[in-house]
Amino acid sequence: MQAVGVVVEYNPFHNGHFYHIEQSKKSTGADVVIAVMSGHFLQRGEPALVDKWHRTKMALQNGVDIVIELPYIFSTAKAELFAKGAIQLLSAMKCQSFAFGSEEGNIEPFHNTYTLLQDYRQEYNELIKYFVSKGLSYPKSLYEAYEQLKQKQHRLYIDLSQPNNILGYHYIEAVYNLKSTIKPVTIQRVKAGYHESINSNTNIASATGIRKEIFEKGSVQDIKNYVPQATFVHLQDWLKQHNQFVQWESFWPLLRFSITRYLPSDLTQFADVSEGIEFALIKYAKISDSFSEFMNHIKSKRYTWTRLQRMLTHIFTGITKEQLHQIDSPTYIRLLGMSEKGQRYLGEIKKDLDLPLISRVASVKDEVLKIDLRATEIYAQGVQLFSKKKIDEDFQTPPIRSIALT
């Protein structure tokens, strides 16, 4: 059986994701779709809208055959490490190909961009330093340096101002650096941009737009046309059980406590906390009544919203720099769920897997897994701020078997 891999968050799974799955199978001729999915905390430093078990069910009932977890170390990392961890896991699962969505929609410019940045690496780094010295933010400096380098060759290159193109580039970079045989394929994103609000003239919206609508309305009724039935049912189920969806605002009392309980010198043990930001974190956490108020106090050119959220994620979960940097490659494959076809595929490849496959965590001793378990525990504590019902914890939950909606 042939397998195509996808790297996902499904926050939540929507019609654009369904299109991506269908096109990934069509473009590669794969029999099986394997999704490596972030757990409870995501790449832009946010807690997931609903827990990973609900999101796994959404995936399995919409064309995905196997869902494995991208460990916390990678799922909350910058794009380079996020991509590296995901590609290593998909390679370990013996995927012949992987497919990612992009604004570009054509794979050749990604390869061209990788070659350009490798051939002119020293000049690229010097340009970055130059633009930073002029007061530009680091992400903006990266972009300006790249735009200047593009003049070196007259070839097709990707637009690195687009979020999915940026992440796609790092997937390609990971494939080259790891010398992986996995074949990359890109699928053109359709209709809705990454940050766009929902549009009543189409049935495809970005996950960001869908979440915005959910939080503004406090219900899922208005997003019904933008998600498959399974997603709608599982979102309704979550709302019935827990009264509201997860966002940083929901966790603010606990996050605020997590910050103010420390001395400034103690906060520096967490990733990305440097250059005196620890004093601002404590100062404004004490006087802010909401997460948005807090963020507006501390956001700056140097500290982007995403960088701050990642920093706060590590403070919230209690994960230190030392823990995060102890390893830079996955040490296991954590199985979250599978369809019948996915189970057959696992039966075929199980003896050839490059990493141990974990279906139950109770008997496993692994430092990376301990961090994942910790993240789930803290997420669960946050949910209990507004819900009387506990979420399912890692020790209690076996892999989900795909079942039909009733």
- Please state the residue numbers annotated as binding site: 7-20, 101, 164, 189
Sort strands 32-38 and 66-70 into parallel, antiparallel or unpaired. Answer: parallel
Q: Which residues are annotated as a binding site for ATP?
A: 7-20, 101, 164, 189
3-state secondary structure of 101: strand
Q: What share of the chain is helix, strand, coil (3-state, %, to 5)?
A: 55, 10, 35
Which candidate, 14, 406, 13, places its Cα nearest to that of 205?
Answer: 14
Contact 353, 333 (CB under 8 A): yes
Contact 89, 333 (CB under 8 A): yes
- How far apart (Å, rounded) are the C-alpha atoms in residues 116 and 137? 22
80, two tokens:
């380079």
- φ, ψ of residue 21 to 5 degrees: the values are -65, -45
Q: How far apart are the first and last CA of the chain?
A: 30
- How far apart (Å, rounded) are the C-alpha atoms in residues 131 and 142? 8
Region for residue 14 given its phi and psi (left: phi exceeds 0; alpha: psi -120 to 50; beta: otherwise): beta
Contact 248, 291 (CB under 8 A): yes
Specify which residues 331 forms β-bridges with. Answer: none
- The runs of H, that is alpha helices, within 185-276 are 207-217, 229-242, 248-260, 264-267
214, two tokens:
């959910």
